[in-house]
A and B are shown apart, each in its own frame.
Chain A
Amino acid sequence: MSREAVRSSFSRCRKAVEALFPVLTAFFIVVLAGCSGQKPAAGGSAGDSTLVIAMLGDANYLNPVIGASVTSRNVYGLLYPGLLQSEFDTTSGLLNFVALERKLREEAPQSQQDKPRGALARTWKMSDDNRSITYTLRNDARWNDGAPVTSHDFKFTYTLYGNPVIASPRQQFLAELVGADKGEIDFDRAIQTPDDTTLVFNFYKRIPESLALFHTSLTPLPKHKWENVPPREFRHSPLNQKPLGAGPYVLQDWLKQQQIVLASNPLCNLPKPGNIPRIMFRVVPDYTVRLAQLQTGAVDVVENIRPEDFDGLERSKTGVEIKAVGLRVYDYVGWSNIDQEAYHGDGTIQPHPLFGSAKVRRALTLAVDRQSILDGYLGEYGVIASTDISPSLKWAYNDKVIPYPYDPAEAVRLLEEEGWMPGPDGIREKNGRKFSFVLYTNAGNARRNFASVIIQQNLREIGIDCQLDVQESNVFFENLRLRRIDAWMAGWSIGLEIDPLDSWGSDLEKSRFNFTGYRNPRIDELCELAKSELNLQDARPYWMEYQEILHRDQPTTFLYWIKEAQGFSRRIKGEELNILSTFYNIDDWTLSPSASVAE
């Protein structure tokens, strides 16, 4: 290249850069300014008046009719009033419903006794035939714009819950209302509002009082705000961004995918304005970062802490307390009880060649060393499971059913009784079929990864070949749902009311979550019998037998119940954890002043 050419090319280059640079700089400033163009809100330093809660993802809707995620529920629960308040009685494991002047279970000892109650209902009356319930509402409840909360708000909101165009995930709560058995709820007959403070729900069949209370206490929306929103536009109505409620908190600011800020609602009398002036829910998707922020005091609450991090957290300078609530979540190894190929082929139901026999499944459970999985991972935060009824639901739990011990010798004996003999390579065989399968699990779950490796090892020791495979969660659950995999490891989070027909019912078309294809007519019968009892506790004998049968049949190998552990900054006072929610009484929490909190 000649000098001239170099010089000319260089000067062109410089021109280009010179021309570009102001543009770039200007762009920078615009972009930065664009990001920072948020209105400066009033208020002093955040530290001692703001509680910061880390959350995995943003809330989708702050609207009780369509809000689907746990975060949504945690947030809108603070914005809206409730017809009833619910409590969980840890001595019996029963749900209790509380109105201003009445409780479902008066005998239950309560810590909340003297605190003001926030329910909208003063009292209720269940009709003698158990086919209708009548609420009397308080007359001093107001939405934040001053309009009274009336029975019409409830009726209106229930029509929204039941509208198929809106597709509320809570439609199931309307399943007993008049007309639901014929496919369409007759709202005029099902919900009646003789005056502003009287609210009547009518059911097409007799139902237990506890179920009636549970299913009629969905959160209301203010009718005067929402009645002109067409159902098609319900999900994207701008009202969703500015929810009008009446709860202890109001929405102050919602920066999508970043944070939700709530401020204590001075107008609230349901029951009172929240103690902590501001609550901030901050989106922190990465677990390691959530943990680091809890340690530095940047956030105050992180849910679902992994056991391996307990020590580090408890030693951290800012002071973190680990708290666990009841047992609602369990892991299991699912065995397809039926031959899926035949089922998908011509619809016939035949036992699975490997897992079709209860004796083999019992052998598999005996061969898995559940205690060492617990010792190695969950420690004291896990309990070996015998069936899918949680030990926390004491009224229904059968403590005579003892989980199978780790006993590989007995497992071998059972397998050989069933004809599974060691082959030349050490893997058991029967009629030319090797006992060899793939155990699937979903990606990104450290606990299940840990357990699956131990299970593989345990099974290898009794001559069973188990390959491990990890699938992306969406793919994994689709495969489960379509009953495409023979053996898998997964978990369930149970509801507080027991209704297991969906997971064990013999009608495989109807029982969508019976992934194993387990069928036992006695289980169907027991579930129906239990459901027909008008008093929950009277169903106890049925649940006792249910657990004995599941224990004997081992449709899945129940592994362990998990105590979900939550990390709390020590500056939080007054928190009462509860199986219902980590944030059960958050409006009663207080913050003690602390120097370690960032300004």
Chain B
Amino acid sequence: MLIYIARRLLVAIPLVFGVLTLTFFIIRLAPGDPAALFIQPGISPKVADQIREQYGLNDPLLIQYVKWLGSVLQGDFGRSFSRAQQPVFDVIAQALPVTITIALLTLAANFILGIFIGVISAVKQNSYLDRFLTVGALFFYSMPEFWFALMMIIVFALKLQIFPASGLNEVGAESYGPFRFLLDRLWHLVLPVTVLSINGAAGIARYVRGSMLEVIRQDYIRTARAKGLPEKVVITRHALRNALLPVITLMGGSLPFIFSGALFIEVIFAFPGMGRVTVEAIFARDYPLIIANTFVSGTLIIIGNLVADVLYAVVDPRIKL
């Protein structure tokens, strides 16, 4: 298995590299100009050109590529155009923890909620509760997340004023003690994590329900019941554990979705995470930052997929890696 993982990681290197090269050319060929901000009345026409010179954009494309390649191979992804020339990895180092927090909380909420709903609808198959949950899950599954987010803000932040609408912390939170600060941070994460996870949880619930229904009909469940075990034990200890096997593999696969979901959640809730960095970098045509973001999210997605594949082998001995 270790050899398998090592091989996969080795294959990933040219893959990431190819993605970066493609991104490099696509963004430069796309219309728009990183110096566009400086082309306006009242600003000397020389400025845009001086700025492009600073960014090294006056060289021919191939020369730019070779220079870029040289510095990337040395681990230098350059400085951001739009963010005061901060080194791009500084920008990402500030943004990544925010996104990872959201992603992990979402992942946890996804599975806890999804499994809970899935088990209930499987156990009470075809009851009104099951139908209600199924319809509800479908309803949330098909709802556009950005719209759902705005609705949640209107209801919970504006009308009921229970949760805050934006930011990572309250105004003046710097003076809070560490515990209150953490609580405040979690309070700010409730709405975005709910929005992000409800959609995923709905999907997982469907999986769990299906897998649970299959397991429940197995002989060993009947045996367990025949032994006189209480229904609760049968469901949680004998059925659920086996039903979860295929679900666990979803974990790796859902990572890219959670990441792309974080993109707009961060814009709507004003979190300074990777999603917002990416969106703003694209609008500002901040080439180095776009490439570095592609690098980070590409790597994470590849790792996510690898984790999914490894988990398959871990939970199901019939799969040999």
Q: Annotate A274-317 by CB proximity to B: 1 below 8 A, 0 otherwise.
A: 00000010111110110011011010000000000000000000
State whether the Cβ of B280 lies closer than 8 Å to any Cβ in chain A: yes
Contact in complex: B317, A8 (CB < 8 Å): yes
The reply to whether A288 and B85 contact each other, CB–CB distance below 8 Å, is: no
Does A36 contact B182, Cβ atoms closer than 8 Å? yes
Please, which residue of chain A has its CB at the minimum distance from the CB of B82? A60
| Interface-located stretch among B9-17, B156-164, B200-208 | B156-164
**A286 vs B276: C-alpha distance in the bound complex, in angstroms?**
11
Given contacts A12-B317, A475-B31, whether A513 and B41 have CB atoms under 8 Å apart is yes
A286 touches B171 (CB 8 A): no
Shortest C-beta distance, A278 to chain B (Å), equals 9
Residues 16-42 of B contacting A (Cβ, < 8 Å): 31-33, 36-42
> A47 within 8 Å of B by Cβ?
yes
A147 contact set on B, CB distance < 8 A = none
* Given A41-B174, A45-B172, A258-B272, also A296-B161 (CB < 8 A): yes
Question: Can you list 19 A-B pairs with a CB-CB distance of less than 8 A?
Answer: A14-B241, A35-B97, A36-B178, A40-B175, A43-B174, A47-B172, A164-B50, A167-B54, A255-B272, A257-B94, A258-B272, A283-B270, A284-B166, A289-B153, A292-B154, A296-B161, A477-B36, A499-B41, A502-B41
Contact of A256 among B40, B94, B314 (CB under 8 A): B94
Judged by a CB distance under 8 angstroms, whether A145 is at the interface is no
Q: Does B74 count as interface, using CB distance less than 8 angstroms? A: no
Closest 9 CB pairs of A and B: A46-B172, A474-B32, A257-B272, A167-B50, A236-B85, A13-B315, A41-B174, A171-B44, A475-B31
In the assembled complex, which residues on chain B have CB atoms less than 8 Å from the CB atom of A292?
153-154, 157-158, 165
Find out whether the CB atom of A12 lies under 8 angstroms from the CB atom of B84. Answer: no
Contacts of B190 in A (CB 8 A): none
Residue A557, interface by CB 8 Å: no
Distance between Cα atoms of A313 and B195 in the complex (Å) = 26
Report yes or no: A298 in contact with B164, Cβ–Cβ below 8 A.
yes
Counting CB contacts under 8 A, is B296 at the interface?
no
CB 8 Å contact bits of B251-290 with A (1 = contact, 0 = none): 0000000000000000111101000110010010100000
* Residues in chain B near residue A32, CB distance under 8 A: 101, 182, 185
Q: Which residues of A contact B105 (CB under 8 A)?
A: 28
The verdict on B56 contacting chain A, using a C-beta distance below 8 Å, is no
> For residue A492, which residues in chain B have a CB less than 8 angstroms away from its CB?
41
Q: How far is the CB of B26 from chain A (nearest CB, A)?
A: 14
Q: Do the beta carbons of B241 and A10 come within 8 Å of each other? A: yes
Interface membership of A253, Cβ < 8 A:
yes
Contacts of B37 in A (CB 8 A): 68
Between A and B, how many residue pairs show CB distances below 8 Å?
201
A503 at the interface (CB under 8 A from B): yes
Contacts of A280 on B, CB cut-off 8 Å?
171
Closest to B283 in A: A474
- Size of B's binding interface in residues, CB under 8 A: 77
Q: In the complex, what distance in Å separates the CA atom of A282 from the CA atom of B285?
A: 24
Q: Judge if B303 is at the interface, Cβ distance under 8 Å.
A: no
Contacts of B277 in A (CB 8 A): 257
Contact at B97–A288, with CB atoms within 8 Å?
A: no
Which residues of A are found within 8 Å of B133, using beta-carbon distances? none
**Cβ of A473: which chain B residues have Cβ within 8 Å of it?**
283
Query: Nearest chain-B residue to A27 (Cβ)?
Result: B104
Chain A residues contacting B314 (CB-CB under 8 Å) are: 12-13, 16
Using a CB–CB cutoff of 8 Å, the interface residues on chain A facing chain B are 3, 5-6, 8-10, 12-14, 16-17, 24, 27-28, 31-32, 34-36, 38-47, 50, 52, 57-58, 60-61, 68, 164-165, 167-172, 175, 235-236, 240, 253, 255-258, 280, 282-286, 288-289, 292-293, 295-296, 298, 472-475, 477-479, 481, 492, 495, 499, 502-503, 512-513, 598-599
| Residues of chain A within 8 A of B140, CB atoms compared | none
A218 CB to nearest chain B CB (Å): 13
Please determine whether B166 and A293 come into contact, CB atoms closer than 8 angstroms: yes
Cα A240 to Cα B177 with chains together (Å): 30
Q: Assess whether A282 is in contact with B242, with CB atoms less than 8 Å apart.
A: no
Task: Please give the distance in Å from B159's CB to the nearest CB on chain A.
Answer: 10
In whole angstroms, how far apart are the Cα atoms of A295 and B154 in the complex?
Answer: 11
Q: Evaluate contact between A235 and B168: CB separation under 8 angstroms.
A: no
- Beta-carbon contacts of B170-197 to A below 8 Å, as 1s and 0s? 1110111110011001000000000000
Complex contact A169–B167 (CB within 8 A): no
Shortest distance in angstroms between B221's beta carbon and chain A's nearest beta carbon? Answer: 11
Chain B residues, CB < 8 A from A68: 37-38
- Shortest C-beta distance, A43 to chain B (Å), equals 5
In the bound complex, do residue A35 and residue B185 qualify as a contact, i.e. CB atoms below 8 Å apart?
A: yes
Alpha-carbon gap, A168 to B54, bound state (A)? 12
Contact B317 A9 (CB under 8 A): yes
A481: B residues at CB distance < 8 A = 39
Q: Mark B78-96, 1 if CB is under 8 A from A, else 0.
A: 0100111110000100110
**Which residues of the other chain, B, contact A14 by a CB distance below 8 angstroms?**
241
Kindly identify which residue among B32, B185, B244 contacts A475, using a CB–CB cutoff of 8 Å. B32
Q: In the complex, A28 Cα to B44 Cα: how many Å? A: 50
Q: Does B47 contact A (CB under 8 A)?
A: yes
B113 in contact (CB, < 8 A): no
Indicate whether B227 reaches chain A with its CB closer than 8 angstroms.
no
Q: Which of B41, B43, B270, B316 contacts A286 (CB 8 A)?
A: B270
> Residues of A contacting B69 with CB < 8 Å?
none
Q: Which residue of A lies closest to B161 (CB)?
A: A296
Contacts of B248 in A (CB 8 A): 13, 17
Q: Does B100 contact A (CB under 8 A)?
A: yes
A36→B36 contact, CB < 8 A: no
Is B45 interfacial (CB-CB < 8 Å)? yes
Shortest CB-to-CB span from B155 to chain A, Å, is 11
| Minimum CB distance partner of A297 in chain B | B161
Q: Which of B79, B84, B241, B285 has the most CB of A within 10 A?
A: B84
- Residues of chain B within 8 A (CB-CB) of A513 are 40-41
Which A residues are CB-close (under 8 A) to B174? 38-41, 43, 253
A293 CB, min distance to chain B CBs, angstroms: 6
Q: B120 near A: Cβ within 8 Å? A: no
Taking CB atoms, residues of chain A closer than 8 Å to B32 are 472, 474-475, 478
B65 at the interface (CB under 8 A from A): no
Q: Answer yes or no: B109 CB below 8 A from chain A CBs.
A: no
**Chain A contacts for B170, CB-based, 8 A:** 46, 598-599
Closest to A35 in B: B97
Q: How far is the CA of A61 from the CA of B37 in the complex (A)?
A: 14
A492: min CB distance to chain B, Å: 8
CB of B150 within 8 A of chain A? yes
A284-B36 CB under 8 A given contacts A31-B101, A35-B185:
no
- If A13-B245, A13-B248, A283-B270 touch, does A35 touch B168 (CB 8 Å cutoff)? yes
Contact partner of B43 (CB less than 8 A), chosen from A34, A38, A169, is A169
Starting from the known contacts A9-B316, A45-B172, A513-B40, 14 additional A-B residue pairs (CB-CB under 8 Å) come to A13-B315, A34-B97, A36-B181, A36-B182, A44-B175, A164-B50, A171-B43, A171-B44, A256-B272, A258-B168, A283-B270, A296-B158, A298-B164, A298-B171
CB neighbours of A17 from chain B (8 A): 248
A478 vs B35: C-alpha distance in the bound complex, in angstroms? 11
A165 CA to B171 CA, complexed, in Å: 39
Given A167-B54, A285-B276; A258-B167 close (CB under 8 Å): yes
Q: Which residues of A contact B250 (CB under 8 A)?
A: none
Say yes or no for B98: interface residue by CB 8 A criterion.
yes
| B44 touching A172, Cβ below 8 Å | yes
Nearest residue in A to B170 (C-beta to C-beta)?
Answer: A598
